[in-house]
Copies of this chain bind each other. A is one copy, B any other.
Amino acid sequence: MSNDIQEVKKESSSYATGLGSLESVHVFAPATVANVVCGFDVLGFAVNEPGDEVIMRRKDKPGITISKITGDDGRLPLDPAKNTVSVSVQHYLDSIGSSDIGLDIELHKKMPIGSGLGSSSASTVAGLFAIKTLLGDDTDPMKLLPFAMKGEEMACGHGHADNVAPALLGGFVLIRSYDPLDVVRLPSPKGLYCAIVFPDVDVPTREARQIIRNKIQMKDAVTQWGNIAGLVSGLFMQDVDLIGRSMQDVLVEPVRSMLIPDFYKMREIAMENGAVSFGISGSGPSVFAFTRDEETAKLITQKLQQHLTNIKIGSNGYVSPINDGGPKVIG
């Protein structure tokens, strides 16, 4: 990782004095679904909706301030030393020798925190893409990944990349290896839609990780890597049937599904209404289904939310194609 940071420093040296022409920028970064059922800790994809927004403005006084956070119910710190967005941005600025630039950040959370949709990753990536854009730094977005992973480490206690990498690069992303970091952008079939439902229950990421077994059966692992190989093949072949058949998880889902209300009933509802596949988004509690079109995704979102209402659980629902470009400037 230190090598990557070195490289950014070198390539970005012309921006070190903050000579970029923009005074402010408004950025969107997408929510992400990690694991994708059979790709625990190595696979994720981004959606167009929901996502977080960052407005970043230059200011005269050196240092980063956070003037406003909305949509977080007061849960996120305004202290720039404690907020993952400002901390990641500061790491980036330090790496290019621009530590003393003056910045103010507004963070607008457009998705629930603790939803399993890469909420912290979306905010961090939005912040990093904002500072990159503000400074006119046109190096490969991939170079921001180590800084985004630093933010993830602070937010979740581990520097995983299966949310930040797809949030940053868009589409499906494989993290083949962490040491050295090896990230592969995968294609996805045209027309593939995603229905996402967040049941409003509390599943802390750390606890969802702790309940996973450390020791597993070799035969289950073989099933799992047959499936991830099938899923990756399906993505390249644009074979939605193969994608659906491959999205089975015999290792993590059987444990984590216990933390999600009526998980198997929700699967039944999704599959009966035309889903290609159904599973847990990241560590949950959000669930997602792939569909072949927008209408089916809308129907499934609606049916799942209706079921959750029936069992007296609030929810948020989202319908989106697979995001293709990662973060973008929206103002």
Contact = CB atoms under 8 A, between A and B. Distances in A.
Interface string A245-260: 1100001000000000
Nearest to A38: B225
B225 A228 contact: yes
Interface in A231-285: 232-233, 236-237, 242, 245-246, 251
B214 A218 contact: yes
Given A229-B229, A230-B176, A232-B229, A215 B212 contact: no
A251 B42 CA distance: 17
Contacts of A228: 225, 228-229
Nearest to A41: B222
A226 B186 contact: no
Contact of A215 (B215, B233, B245): B215
A39 to B, nearest CB: 7
A177 interface: yes
Contact of A218 (B175, B216, B246): B216
B245 A177 contact: yes
A16 interface: no
A3 interface: no
A60 to B, nearest CB: 46
A42 B229 contact: yes
Interface of A: 38-43, 174-177, 182, 184, 186, 212-219, 221-230, 232-233, 236-237, 242, 245-246, 251
20 contacts: A40-B222, A41-B226, A43-B229, A174-B226, A174-B230, A174-B233, A176-B226, A182-B245, A184-B237, A184-B242, A213-B218, A214-B219, A216-B216, A218-B251, A221-B221, A221-B224, A224-B225, A225-B225, A228-B229, A232-B236
